[in-house]
């Protein structure tokens, strides 16, 4: 198969981070839309994208896009697609999800049923069968309708990419692993700088930071739906894993810390870090946010504090965020990054954010507040006793050097 077009959905608001990841892997961007990035690559790109991408939800193999305003049109155009190029005759194929925005066809269940029927009719005709066994490999489909344009894609991933495999136990409202990774990549943090999460819960942000610091690909320890597909070369998966193993930096010694007031959560975080293979790179401790301190300068706090979705919880939020602000102020030249839906965050912290980015955490609208500290002086400046007055880059996407998980970065260095 020649080059294919792949679609990587992501959290709304994180398209730029995902785009950079894909480009770092060496692939050509086809299109960036709300909540997804499309790109071109060889069939082996299915393997590398699934194993290396930190911020994507899944990797979809685009089959086709066409206009349809009626169910008859949907049926006929689906049936006309060359499904035999994608599916063996024993394939188990179904539309696992259909989403419709501003389209005349808006019933997910009807879209799923009609497209499934059309695929079956096409396959029966091509393979000269009266019925399809459907006892082979699974080929789940995802369908998006936007302004009557139907995009049909095969789901190569299966379980969402945020499920790395290490988080067996979670907190009450855990942050998704891919979202946690994106929050880190939106900052100028690198593995040689301090990182503290004072509300670490089950440890997701510190663990993702450790994976980034050691350049450990997030999909190394899990399986994917497309592993046994004829469409994707089997050797592509082995080569991608070999590449990922070669890129791991075993020499790193980052200063990553996670605190939580709940002793049980601290134990859970430690176990999750062990399962991720990064427990030696993180220090977890039971500690109240009011006791937060650190002797070093120019550190980072990246955190997902309580949002207080219930009324009785909201009353406790202002003093909590106020305490966070006080401890942040006491930390010399640190930067603070907070994702939350709490509307009085800036007021409680006592400072207007240098930047806030709207991010949808599922259906919940949140903001990622960036409170920038000063950049550390360069070595020559330090020798002269100078102190830099510049703040950390607010865009992060321009200046930061996100560690590559692919060949392209190594070849371009």
Residue ranges of the chain that CATH labels 3.30.2130.30: 4-155
Tokens standing for 401? 């050097």
CA–CA distance, 1 with 322 (Å, rounded to integer): 57
Which of 165, 180, 173 lies closest to 50, judged by CA?
A: 165
Rounded-to-integer distance, Cα 240 and Cα 242, Å: 5
**Cβ-contact 91, 134 below 8 angstroms:** yes
Q: How confident is the model at residue 266 (pLDDT cuts 50, 70, 90)?
A: very high
CB 207 within 8 A of CB 181: no
Residue 72 pLDDT greater than 80, yes or no: yes
At the fourth CATH level, which superfamily is domain 177-230+249-401?
Answer: Vaccinia Virus protein VP39 (3.40.50.150)
Q: Which tokens is 398 given?
A: 């321009």
The CB density around residue 366, as the number of other CB atoms within 10 Å, is: 23
Pairing of strands 149-155, 60-67: antiparallel
State how far the Cα of 411 lies from the Cα of 88, in Å rounded to an integer: 37
Helix (H, G, I), strand (E, B) or coil at 412: helix
CA distance 349 to 326: 7
pLDDT in tens, 23-50: 999 999 999 999 999 999 999 999 999 9
Joined together, the tokens standing for residue 33 give 């839309």
SS3 content of the chain, % helix, strand, coil (to 5): 35, 20, 45
Q: Is pLDDT above 50 for 338?
A: yes
d(CA 205, CA 203): 6
Residues of each domain in the chain carrying CATH 3.40.50.150:
177-230+249-401
Token pair listed for 72: 């008859």
Given this model, what pLDDT does residue 392 score? 64
Q: At what angle do helices 15-24 and 177-185 cross, to 10 degrees?
A: 80
* Number of neighbouring beta carbons within 10 Å of residue 235: 11
What pLDDT shows up at residue 400? 39
> What is the value of pTM for the model shown?
0.90
Tokens of 316: 């406790």
Quote the distance between the C-alpha of residue 328 and its chain's center.
27
Nearest one of 154, 128, 166, 144 to 65, comparing CA atoms: 144
pLDDT score recorded for residue 307 = 84
- Determine the average pLDDT of the residues in 118-123: 97
DSSP code, position 404: P
pLDDT of 393 over the 70 cut: no
280-295: pLDDT as tens digits: 999 999 999 999 999 9
What pLDDT is recorded for position 391?
66
How far apart are alpha carbons 236 and 42 in whole angstroms? 10
Residue bearing the bigger pLDDT, 13 or 395: 13
DSSP string, 295-336: SSSS-EEEE------SHHHHHHHHHHHHHHHHHHHHSTT-EE
List, for residues 152-192, the tens digit of each pLDDT value: 999 999 999 999 999 877 766 689 999 999 999 999 999 99
Strand partners, 340: 367
R_g of the chain, CA atoms, integer Å: 23
The pLDDT tens digits for 216-238 are 999 999 999 999 999 999 999 99
Residues paired with residue 33 on neighbouring β-strands, in sequence order: 36
* Secondary element (H or E) of residue 379: helix 379-383
What lies within 8 Å, CB to CB, of 311 at 6+ separation is none
pLDDT at res. 309: 63
CATH 3.30.2130.30 holds for 4-155: yes
Residue 289 has what pLDDT?
97
Between the two ends of the chain, the Cα-to-Cα distance in Å is 30
Q: What per-residue confidence (pLDDT) applies to 173?
A: 66
């Amino acid at each position: 198969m020649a080059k294919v077009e792949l679609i990587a959905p992501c959290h709304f608001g994180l398209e730029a981070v995902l785009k950079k990841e894909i480009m770092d892997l060496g692939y050509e961007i086809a299109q960036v839309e709300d909540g997804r990035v499309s790109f071109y690559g060889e069939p082996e790109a299915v393997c590398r994208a699934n194993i290396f991408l930190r911020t994507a939800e899944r990797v979809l193999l685009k089959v086709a896009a066409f206009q349809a305003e009626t169910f008859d049109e949907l049926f006929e155009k689906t049936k006309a697609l060359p499904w035999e190029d994608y599916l063996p005759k024993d394939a188990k194929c179904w539309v696992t999800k259909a989403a419709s925005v501003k389209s005349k066809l808006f019933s997910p269940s009807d879209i799923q049923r009609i497209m499934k029927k059309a695929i079956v009719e096409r396959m029966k005709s091509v393979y000269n069968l009266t019925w399809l066994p459907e006892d082979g490999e699974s080929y789940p489909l995802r369908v998006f309708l936007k302004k009557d344009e139907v995009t049909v894609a095969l789901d190569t991933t299966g379980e969402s990419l945020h499920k790395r495999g290490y988080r067996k136990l979670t907190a009450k409202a855990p942050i998704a692993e891919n979202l946690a990774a994106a929050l880190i990549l939106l900052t100028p943090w690198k593995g040689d700088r301090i990182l503290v999460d004072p509300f670490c819960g089950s440890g997701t942000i510190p663990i993702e930071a450790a994976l980034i610091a050691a350049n450990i690909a997030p999909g190394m320890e899990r399986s994917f739906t497309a592993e046994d597909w004829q469409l994707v070369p089997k050797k592509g998966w082995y080569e991608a894993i070999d590449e990922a193993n070669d890129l791991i930096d075993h020499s790193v010694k980052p200063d990553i810390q996670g605190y939580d007031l709940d002793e049980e959560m601290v134990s859970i975080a430690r176990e999750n870090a062990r399962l991720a293979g990064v427990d030696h790179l993180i220090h977890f401790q039971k500690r109240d946010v009011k006791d937060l301190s650190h002797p070093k300068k120019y550190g980072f706090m990246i955190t997902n504090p309580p949002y207080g979705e219930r009324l009785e919880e909201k009353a406790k939020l202002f003093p909590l965020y106020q305490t966070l602000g006080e401890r942040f102020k006491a930390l010399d030249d640190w930067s603070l990054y907070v994702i939350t839906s709490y509307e009085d965050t800036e007021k409680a912290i006592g400072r207007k954010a240098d930047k806030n980015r709207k991010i949808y955490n599922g259906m919940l609208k949140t903001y990622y507040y960036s409170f920038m500290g000063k950049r550390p002086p360069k070595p020559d400046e330090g020798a002269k006793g100078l102190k830099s007055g510049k703040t950390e880059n607010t865009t992060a996407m321009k200046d930061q050097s996100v560690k590559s998980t692919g060949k392209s970065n190594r070849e371009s260095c």
